């Protein structure tokens, strides 16, 4: 039987661009380029490796986001994913993590899955909670923050490197997995992959298709509210000295003045 | 007065510093009720009482160690049901954020992660967060349910505030999901004797300029003279010079110490995302044009192989 893998990916603003807030205190997407979150590339890579090791597997890449988010799906398809699902609806604007997990969970259930894989966090919000939220909503084991992952005989195994210990984990499928940037370098799409991606199916779903009321998502339905966002004041110019042989001593003097020594 | 649940991060009964910081913040919005789980849970009571816990709910069971995350969610939910708190606070560790997330879904609440401050507000607790690599500061609140908030280390002072700290056993019935993910084995990380990176008051980091694993002892020596943790940039970690667990940045750890010393680190946006909220920033770099110098309170343009050992000697001499 085919192993159905769904990879959740996010279209994020380029961190090297000038990211700022719009008037409604959501991300201003006008002035900054978007791309597939780098941390999700690791999830796509592990999904493809697990699929390659299975007798029969299908990799579906899933995103929730505006029209431009198709770019993130195309990137994943060009890496080798088989098909894509794009949840797009004007009412989704401003949806928070809890709301996003609701939409993703419904889309995953509709698509059908044995294994859900995501990155450890997005590179914009960096909360790192969506995999756990998905496991809770789907009612399946979470096997998260893995630096190594494998699937064999309906069991997912992996290594989780925590602050105080390294753990070997295992769970039966279906399950939700998240992988870290230590799980293995993501492949670059080949020219052939990029050409093939243009012909791969991208299914579009809206809130009606998923049976979600508009008031459960979006800015209005959000479980959290941002009251203000202020640009961090520019740091006052620090003291910069050139080392002429006494730079370490001068630095020690500064640290002593600040009571660090 | 409203009760506030505080999830206790401890190792065999030794409470970690971020939990004591949480108790300081919890007292701003109500009376702290601590929840300590697992081996040594009851041993945490004395220190929690010294820092303001009016009550300490404890539970131990093999499930907490043998299965991932969910048993602790079940226990925290039991505490939530027993107390009806005004808010639930947890530290911003990877595990605690996952516990917070699952609890939030179960109790129909919003979640705020990585708060750097927390105050009482007219419409409930207001959390301060950093956004977009700390280029913005936001104020947020939970608008549905009871606020579930995770707080970054070093966000509040540890303040003694003696309270009753009455220990009560927490009855936990584990959910069907609790045993879903088995911890087959656990290998404790070897202790370096240095403070934990995310909790340390001072962090000394090395980057590409350190130029090899064999040179990282220079960074470690400076860290040890200051009682600091050691960090590394992604370039240094990817080159295999230092372990990934010490990586500071967007894909590594986010740190917010009193003092951050960057040595041989140019300061790419991905690194800045992980350290820009540090209170005082110092950099040593050969390249006067390195973007890290835009952030510093004090910078030395020079060769770290000259500057760092001289600094270490000077710090050691002053402390001696």
Cα separation, B120 vs B260, whole angstroms: 30
Query: A166–B186: do the CB atoms touch at under 8 Å?
Result: yes
pLDDT band at A1 (very low <50, low <70, confident <90, very high): low
Whether the pLDDT of residue B135 is over 90: the answer is no
pLDDT digits (tens, 9 = 90+) for B72-95: 999 999 999 999 999 999 999 999
- Least confident range from A173-177, B116-120, B249-253: namely B249-253
Query: B94–A222: do the CB atoms touch at under 8 Å?
Result: no
Query: B139–A227: do the CB atoms touch at under 8 Å?
Result: yes
Q: Residue A156: beta bridge partners?
A: A151, A171
Residues of B in contact with A96 (CB under 8 A): 110
> Which residue, among A10, A126, A180, A218, would best test binding to B if mutated, counting the most B CBs under 10 Å from its CB?
A126
Which of A128, A160, A252 lies at the smallest CB-CB distance from B314? A252
pLDDT band at A96 (very low <50, low <70, confident <90, very high): very high
Query: A229–B184: do the CB atoms touch at under 8 Å?
Result: no
Residue ranges of A 155-194 with Cβ closer than 8 A to chain B: 157, 160-172, 175, 180-182
Tell me the mean pLDDT in the region A42-59.
97
What's the pLDDT at A150?
97
* Chain A CB within 8 Å of residue B69 CB: yes
A106, B18, B152, B155 from B92: Cα distances, Å: 28, 9, 5, 11
Q: What is the distance in angstroms between the CA of the first residue and the CA of the last residue of chain A? A: 65
The ipTM is: 0.95
Which residues does B200 contact at the CB level (< 8 Å), separation at least 6? Answer: B194, B228, B229, B255, B257
Considering chain B, what is the average pLDDT of its residues?
A: 95
pLDDT digits (tens, 9 = 90+) for B93-109: 999 999 999 999 999 99
Query: A248–B310: do the CB atoms touch at under 8 Å?
Result: yes
Tell me the mean pLDDT in the region A220-226.
93
- Provide the number of CB pairs (under 8 Å) joining chain A to chain B: 270
* Chain A CB within 8 Å of residue B115 CB: no
Confirm if B262 and B282 have CB atoms less than 8 A apart.
yes
Residues of A in contact with B186 (CB under 8 A): 165-168
Residue ranges of A 32-51 with Cβ closer than 8 A to chain B: 38-39
Structure tokens at B7: 């999830």
Give the distance from residue A222's alpha carbon to the nearest chain B alpha carbon, in angstroms: 7
Strands A142-152, A175-179: pairing is parallel
Whether the pLDDT of residue A198 is over 80: the answer is yes
């Amino acid at each position: 039987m085919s192993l159905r893998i769904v990879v959740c990916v996010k279209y994020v603003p380029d961190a090297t661009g000038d990211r700022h807030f719009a008037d409604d205190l959501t991300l201003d997407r006008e002035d900054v380029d978007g791309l597939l979150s780098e941390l999700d590339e690791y999830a796509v890579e592990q999904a493809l490796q697990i699929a390659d090791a299975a007798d029969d597997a299908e990799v579906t890449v899933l995103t929730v986001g505006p029209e431009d988010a198709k770019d993130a799906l195309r990137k994943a398809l060009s890496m080798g994913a088989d098909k894509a699902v794009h949840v797009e609806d004007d009412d989704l604007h401003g949806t928070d993590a809890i709301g996003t997990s609701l939409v993703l969970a419904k889309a995953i259930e509709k698509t059908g899955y044995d294994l859900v894989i995501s990155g450890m966090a997005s590179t914009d919000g960096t909360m790192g909670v969506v995999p756990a939220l998905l496991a809770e909503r789907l009612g399946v084991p979470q096997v998260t923050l893995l630096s190594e992952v494998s699937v064999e005989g309906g069991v997912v195994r992996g290594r989780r490197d925590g602050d105080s210990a390294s753990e070997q984990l295992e769970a039966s499928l279906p399950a939700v997995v998240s992988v870290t940037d230590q799980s293995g370098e993501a492949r670059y799409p080949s020219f052939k992959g990029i050409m093939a991606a243009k012909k791969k199916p991208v299914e579009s779903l809206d809130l009606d298709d998923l049976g979600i009321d508009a008031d459960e998502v979006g800015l209005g339905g959000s479980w959290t509210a941002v009251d203000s966002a202020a640009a961090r004041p520019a740091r006052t110019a620090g003291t910069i000295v050139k080392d002429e042989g006494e730079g370490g001593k001068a630095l020690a003097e500064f640290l002593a003045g600040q009571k660090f020594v | 007065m409203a009760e506030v649940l505080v999830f206790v991060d401890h190792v065999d009964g030794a409470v970690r510093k971020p939990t004591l910081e949480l108790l300081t913040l919890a007292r701003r919005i109500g009376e702290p009720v601590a929840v300590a789980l697992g081996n040594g849970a009851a041993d945490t009571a004395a220190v929690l009482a010294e820092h303001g816990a009016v009550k300490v709910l404890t539970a131990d069971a093999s499930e907490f160690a043998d299965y991932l995350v969910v048993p602790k969610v079940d226990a925290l939910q039991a505490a939530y049901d027993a107390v009806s708190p005004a808010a639930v606070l947890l530290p911003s560790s990877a595990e605690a954020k996952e516990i917070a997330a699952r609890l939030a879904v179960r109790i129909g609440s919003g979640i705020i992660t990585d708060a750097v401050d927390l105050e009482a507000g007219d419409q409930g607790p207001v959390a301060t967060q950093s956004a977009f690599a700390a280029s913005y500061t936001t104020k947020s609140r939970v608008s549905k349910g009871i606020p579930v908030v995770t707080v970054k280390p070093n966000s509040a002072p540890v303040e003694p505030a003696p309270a009753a700290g009455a220990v009560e056993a927490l009855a936990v019935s584990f959910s069907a999901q609790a045993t879903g993910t088995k911890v087959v084995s656990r290998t404790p990380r070897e202790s370096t004797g240095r403070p934990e990176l995310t909790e340390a008051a001072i962090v000394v980091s090395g980057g590409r300029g350190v130029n090899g694993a064999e040179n990282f002892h220079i960074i470690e020596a400076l860290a040890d003279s200051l009682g600091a943790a050691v960090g590394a940039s992604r370039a240094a970690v990817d080159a295999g010079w230092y372990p990934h667990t010490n990586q500071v940045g967007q894909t590594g750890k986010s740190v917010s110490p009193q003092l951050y010393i960057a040595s041989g680190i140019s300061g790419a946006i991905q690194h800045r995302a992980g350290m820009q909220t540090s209170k005082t920033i110092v950099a040593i770099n050969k390249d006067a044009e390195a973007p890290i110098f835009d952030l510093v309170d004090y910078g030395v343009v020079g060769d770290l192989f000259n500057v760092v050992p001289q600094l270490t000697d000077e710090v050691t001499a002053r402390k001696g």
